[in-house]
Amino acid sequence: MRPDLVRGNLDLLVLAVLARRPAHGYAVIEALRERSGGQLDLPEGTVYPALHRLEAAGHLASEESVVDGRRRRTYAVTRDGLAVIDARKDEWRRFARVVELVTGGTA
């Protein structure tokens, strides 16, 4: 899958992963890989700017803990973030439908 397509929707993907359960960055990437069947292949570091951006926007909250002697930051979706997920999902469905219509698909 083209990286620019993934990057353009990374915020929604990250929010959707974290809506299931709070996780740290590495676990988010693992979940993205698993749930996409390995199709989401982008530099793993790119998820961190997305996490920080979403937290700054109030869609995520984070807290730091110490795991195996290392500091680890765990992220969770806020109520605001849940609302954003719903809105973005609607947007995505409409967009996908439009793309299908224009390109002659059957959706």
Region binding other proteins by CB under 8 A among candidate stretches 23-31, 79-87, 89-97, 98-106: 23-31
First to last CA, the chain: 20
Structure tokens at 73: 């930051």
Query: Of 37, 33, 11, 31, which is closest to residue 91 (Cα–Cα)?
Result: 11
- Per CB under 8 A, the list member of 48, 58, 101, 107 interacting with other proteins is 48
Distance CA 80, CA 60 (A): 8
Contacts (CB under 8 A) with other proteins, residues 75-104? none
Residue from 20, 26, 86, 99 that binds other proteins (CB under 8 A)?
A: 26
Nearer to other proteins, 66 or 102 (CB): 66
Return the residues of window 58-77 that contact other proteins according to CB under 8 A.
70-73
Question: Site for other proteins (CB under 8 A): which residue of 9, 16, 44, 61?
Answer: 44
DSSP state of 1: -
Specify the stretch interacting with other proteins by CB under 8 A; choose among 12-20, 43-51, 77-85, 89-97.
43-51
DSSP line for 37-88? TT-----GGGHHHHHHHHHHTTSEEEEEEEETTEEEEEEEE-HHHHHHHHHH
In the complex, the residues that contact other proteins under the rule CB under 8 A are 24-26, 29, 43-46, 48-49, 52, 70-73
